[in-house]
Amino acid sequence: MAKIIPFKAVRPTRDKVSLLAARSYDSYTAMQVESRLRDNPFSFLHIVNPGYKYQKEISGEERYGLVRNRYQEFKEDEIFIQDEKPSFYIYKIVNRDRLEFNGIVAAASVQDYAEDVIKKHEDTLEFREVIFKEYLKTVGFNAEAVLLTYPDNDELEAIIEEVMQSRAEYEFTTTYRDTHYLWNVDDEVLLKKIQQIYSEMPALYIADGHHRSASSYLLAKDLKEENPNHTGDEPYNYFMSYLIPESDLKIYEFNRLVKDLNGMTKEEFLIKLDEHFRIENRGMEYYKPSKLHHFSMYLDGEFYSLYLRKTKYEIKNALDALDTHILYVTVLKPLLGIEDLRNDQRIEYSHGKKDLAYVKTVVDSGTFAVGFGLVAVTSDELKQIADEGLKMPPKSTYIEPKLRSGVTVYEF
């Protein structure tokens, strides 16, 4: 049974939320970061990039300490204020594509994570888990929610819809034309009802944020060992999450781009591919696959459709049926010599929002030799992978919504 609880969020004042809210730091170019830091003194980027104040690149423990200092300064200047009562936060996003996401910001249990009530579908890198754990331990807060998903629930949807009939605490539109809304729910009867609904769910699924949730679990283990009066109710036993129903989840594919053909000519490569795929030359036609086990390929100025020969490929479990895994075990590893999908410098990824025109452009430029297009993973595939205790290859999914950092902050 899932344990989801309300918490006292630290939040920007209503007049500053649009200025403060920021995308994930890694999503900005260096030029974008510079302009926001220069022109907007309220941006959350000032907190996560504290060296800007001294015009110096700062990393490691020194940076962590300064991040905490900047955060405390925002609180001292009353840019951030903590809510007096534990609350759930109804959060709505309408993006530039007119897709709408409705969910609840809440605290999820690290124990549920450890016991697989909160299920995972991706592998994590231990060194990244440890680095982020140490960061959290020093700064004492988390400003980026883990995206969790659950089966659609009519009762919960009705509660969310009812709350959204009132005036939102926040309503702001970003320069990316996404509009964000937030409602504060602190009514005790409603809080208990929402908790009860989640407690009746046998499982929740991580959609995005595997490293953040893993790091929160490691942090809780450390702080428990350091606390002789540990009760299990301390804030470090939970991590901030954004919970949305499966039907709201939008999953895009990640296309694959490879820099060379591993010493083969085009003709040799096509002959090798023929073992596992029925190949059709589509010429200049933009071929985008629409079915599982169908792939597109752009090579030497032409598109190809690749249909998996099922008589040559055995499916024993959910991972075997996953297109990103199929491409890896039939093409990327045996033919193109790419074993480490995370670290091999010969492969790069572009999410499906960039579409096949981007794949064509970078291959035509000579930066890459070949590009592969895939069908997006479904939420059912994601859940089945997690239920079977399996892990997807890296960059199997690009998932929306993407929350802004700093709209709600969780302290521990």
What is the average pLDDT across 242-268? 96
| Alpha-carbon dihedral sign for residues 327, 328, 334, 337 | positive
Instruction: Look at residue 171 and tell me whether its pLDDT is greater than 90.
Output: yes
- The residue type found at 316 is K
The bridge status of strand 250-252 relative to strand 398-400 is: antiparallel
Predicted confidence (pLDDT) per residue in 194-217, tens digit:
999 999 999 999 999 999 999 999
Would you say how long the chain is, in residues?
A: 412
Q: Where in the chain is the domain with CATH 3.30.1760?
A: 254-375
| SS3 state at 83 | coil
Say if domain 254-375 classifies as CATH 1.20.1300. Answer: no
Q: What are the b/e assignments for 189-220, b being 16+ CB within 10 Å?
A: ebbeebbebbeebebbbbbbbbbbbbbbbbbb
Q: Where does the pLDDT of residue 165 fall: very low under 50, low under 70, confident under 90, or very high at 90 and above?
A: very high
The confidence score (pLDDT) of residue 97 equals: 85
Separation of alpha carbons 379 and 274, rounded Å:
31
Helix (H, G, I), strand (E, B) or coil at 371: strand
* Residue 123: pLDDT band with limits 50, 70, 90: confident
Choice among 127-131, 197-201, 406-410 with the minimum mean pLDDT: 127-131
Residue 367 scores a pLDDT above 90: yes
Residue 24 or residue 367, greater confidence:
367
User: What is the mean pLDDT of the segment spanning 139-146?
Assistant: 97
328: pLDDT strictly greater than 90:
yes
Quick one: pLDDT at residue 192?
Answer: 98
- Please determine, for residue 252, whether its predicted confidence score (pLDDT) is greater than 90: yes
Q: Is 410 helix (H, G, I), strand (E, B) or coil?
A: strand
pLDDT digits (tens, 9 = 90+) for 259-312: 999 999 999 999 999 999 999 999 999 999 999 999 999 999 999 999 999 999
Whether 118 has a pLDDT exceeding 90, the answer reads yes
Q: How confident is the model at residue 340 (pLDDT cuts 50, 70, 90)?
A: very high
Look over the chain and give the mean of its residue pLDDT values, rounded to a whole number.
Answer: 95
| 382-401 pLDDT per residue, tens | 999 999 999 999 899 999 99
